[in-house]
Amino acid sequence: MGSAATMAITSLCFTKSNKLTSTFRTLPRLTCSSLSNSPFKFNISFSPSKPKPKPKPEPKISNQSPEDNDGPLMIPWIVRGEDGNFKLSSEPPPSFLKDMAIAQTGTKKSEKDQTTKIKKKTEKETKVRAVAPPQYSKAARRFYNENFKDSGSRLSKVLAASGVASRRSCEELIFEGKVTVNGSVCNTPQTKVDPSKDIIYVNGSRLPKRQPHKVYFALNKPKGYICSSGEKESKSVISLFDDYLSSWDKKHPGVPPPRLFTVGRLDVATTGLLIVTNDGDFAQKLSHPSSNFSKEYIATVDGLVHKRHLMAISEGTTIEGVHCVPDSVELLPHVPNAQRARLRIVVHDGRKHEVRELVKSAGLEIYSLKRVRISGFRLPPDLGLGKYVELNPTNLKALGGKLNKVDS
């Protein structure tokens, strides 16, 4: 009896279980409790499981706009007000919105590009700081120049600047043992000396401590004068400055007169602009072919000038093994009461008799030649033949140099 009842209950349970299985997809909970009266009674209940509460997500910044969420995103923001004090706000600051927009559109440069840009900027600033001269006070610079900086110049250069002789002649005097420095014979022209501190004698005469000023002149060279500073030449262009040199002692007492020389040369028959100075560095810069300064000449020629002559001059000619081509050639308009044609020729090579050779190669003969411009400086039209004018800083800048006078 008991076994039959047990089988019946078991069959009923399995039958009911099958029906419930078809109704519910899962059996999440099965509770069995034994009763004290009968150990074979079961309390079976089936119900769907309650959904577990989801943990609240932590607030985080999202790339999505507030409209993509279920409700408005309320995040308190600490912003600085117009009065400069901090306060709470429900809206993010404009800078944050801008960064969010850049992040969404992808217009901001990558972190690698930013790092490269910062590195280049740092290297550039470091380079500029390394190249730029240090900024110190005048007192600090003066102390450095007086105690540490090597302010001396070559002995041959100091002698030439003092008017003893030309640079080459001064070197010969040094080699011959006719120059002493601080009581000892000096045979090296490259020896650094300072006339204000060192005692220098040349042929028994002491060199003055104070050096002459650097002077610069524009001379309108007349015909028949040669570009030589030798004392034996009676018609040297330097003789045109005798009045200036004779009055030097009155204007600059105790300072030796400058030894003047010409920058470059003009042949004896050529007239026009000629630079005269005592600044050797300036003269070297202005006359050296590497400077590539242009020079303008006005050539008066005999006979008629045709197009073929201009073409021949513009094609150039060979001078001292180098093919020289002028920068420009132009036939100037006819001047009333003028019997000869005039050509404007601009060159930059600076070869000996270059303009004369160019005109000669074209089958023409020069009657007169005048230089009217060097670089950006033009001969003043009111400067008469044999006259000179001292150049100012503006004129020197046009020539490609700078004024560097020695304070008296």
- Please check whether residue 169 is in contact with residue 261, taking contact to mean a CB–CB distance below 8 angstroms: no
Quick: pLDDT tens for 305-344: 999 999 999 999 998 888 989 999 999 998 888 889 999 9
Residue 267 is a catalytic residue: yes
Q: Report the range of poorest mean pLDDT among 12-21, 102-111, 227-236, 293-302.
A: 12-21
Quick: pLDDT tens for 160-173: 877 787 788 889 99
- Please check whether residue 215 is in contact with residue 408, taking contact to mean a CB–CB distance below 8 angstroms: no
3-state secondary structure of 323: strand
Instruction: Please work out, in degrees rounded to the nearest 5, the angle formed at the alpha carbon of residue 320 by the alpha carbons of 220 and 358.
Output: 55
**What distance in Å separates the CA atoms of residue 327 and residue 346, rounded to the nearest whole number?**
5
pTM of the prediction?
0.58
User: What are the sequence ranges of the domains in the chain?
Assistant: 153-206, 216-288+382-399, 294-374
Q: Report the range of poorest mean pLDDT among 18-27, 104-113, 259-268, 309-318.
A: 18-27
**What distance in Å separates the CA atoms of residue 19 and residue 13, rounded to the nearest whole number?**
10
CA-based nearest residue to 315, from 330, 325, 306, 305:
325
Fold adopted by 153-206: 3.10.290
**What distance in Å separates the CA atoms of residue 169 and residue 179, rounded to the nearest whole number?**
12
Report the pLDDT averaged over residues 29-45.
50
Looking at the DSSP bridge assignments, the partners of residue 371 are 272, 297
Amino acid identity at 298: I
Pick the CATH number of 294-374 from 3.30.70.1560, 1.20.200.10, 3.30.70.100, 3.90.79.10: 3.30.70.1560
Report the pLDDT averaged over residues 270-294.
85
3-state secondary structure of 236: strand
Confidence of residue 159 (pLDDT cuts 50, 70, 90): confident
What proportion of the chain, given as a percentage, has pLDDT over 90?
30
Pick the CATH number of 216-288+382-399 from 3.30.70.580, 3.40.718.10, 3.40.50.300, 3.40.630.30: 3.30.70.580
> What is the CB-side half-sphere exposure of residue 332 using CA atoms within 13 A?
14
Examine domains 153-206 and 216-288+382-399 and report if their fold is the same. no
Confidence of residue 124 (pLDDT cuts 50, 70, 90): low
**What distance in Å separates the CA atoms of residue 371 and residue 381, rounded to the nearest whole number?**
12
**What distance in Å separates the CA atoms of residue 332 and residue 299, rounded to the nearest whole number?**
10
E strand or H helix that includes residue 118: helix 111-131
Q: What is the DSSP string of 143-197?
A: HHHHHTS---EEHHHHHHHTTSS-HHHHHHHHHTT-EEETTEE---TT-EE-TTT
Please tell me which residue in 99, 194, 249, 267 is annotated as part of the active site: 267
The answer to whether the Cα torsion of 19, 20, 25, 30 is positive or negative is negative
CA-based nearest residue to 284, from 181, 160, 371, 408:
160
Q: What is the DSSP string of 21-63?
A: HHH-S----------SS-TT-------PPPPPPPPPPPP---S
Quick: pLDDT tens for 78-103: 777 777 777 777 777 777 777 787 77
3-state secondary structure of 98: helix
**What distance in Å separates the CA atoms of residue 341 and residue 65, rounded to the nearest whole number?**
86
Q: What is the DSSP string of 371-387?
A: EEEETTEE--TT--TT-
Residues 6+ apart with CB under 8 A from 101: none
Q: Which tokens belong to 178?
A: 């006719």
**What distance in Å separates the CA atoms of residue 2 and residue 44, rounded to the nearest whole number?**
21
